[in-house]
A and B are shown apart, each in its own frame.
Chain A
Amino acid sequence: EAGVAQSPRYKIIEKRQSVAFWCNPISGHATLYWYQQILGQGPKLLIQFQNNGVVDDSQLPKDRFSAERLKGVDSTLKIQPAKLEDSAVYLCASSLRLAGQETQYFGPGTRLLVL
């Protein structure tokens, strides 16, 4: 079974530039998550989608971050404009609930460096 796919794997940009990340979840997984993982910290949830609807975006800095999942499958996360403190790994995860159990599967992440 194919896992969660993300691209690009690495991105280097200058502050105030824009950047976009793409995620393709595991086939059939209705729930999709974007996390930010700063070096030395655990992943922090930015936004959660259920199909193409937003469930939780309480920790998404909406002045500069946006995300969409238009057809309920692929998703994009955009940062515009980027700041130095946005340097992190952006992880996409998807999950499926079966028999009351839900397991999140993570993609390989996009490593962003803002200079």
Chain B
Amino acid sequence: RKEVEQDPGPFNVPEGATVAFNCTYSNSASQSFFWYRQDCRKEPKLLMSVYSSGNEDGRFTAQLNRASQYISLLIRDSKLSDSATYLCAVRNQGGKLIFGQGTELSVKP
């Protein structure tokens, strides 16, 4: 079993749709959690950290469920510019950042 697993993609959604990504992790001692965005042929960029209480940044909401060992990212009112690959990342107790394989999102007009 992979340490971090994401929903297989791609997700193809119309503009304005709400889309949710899930990510599960196997190490219950994981310390912190993140969502990164990676545009085609570009480097990953931090989208948001994920806190136990859940957090929101505009149209983006991230949630953490430690009991079930998963994190989620919700994007409301999808824009064309949201098209990218979304990577979840988990920092283990040794400080290493482990990435999922990424979920590709394509928002269509």
Contact = CB atoms under 8 A, between A and B. Distances in A.
Interface of A: 33, 40-45, 48, 55-56, 91, 101, 103-109, 111
B14 interface: no
Contact of A44 (B94, B95, B99): B99
Given A33-B97, A91-B44, A108-B43, 7 more contacts: A42-B100, A42-B101, A43-B87, A45-B96, A56-B94, A107-B43, A109-B43
Interface of B: 4, 41-46, 49, 87, 89, 94-102
Most interface-central of A45, A56, A106, A108 (chain B CB within 10 A): A106
Contacts of A44: 99
B60 to A, nearest CB: 17
Nearest to A38: B101
B101 A106 contact: no
B45 to A, nearest CB: 7
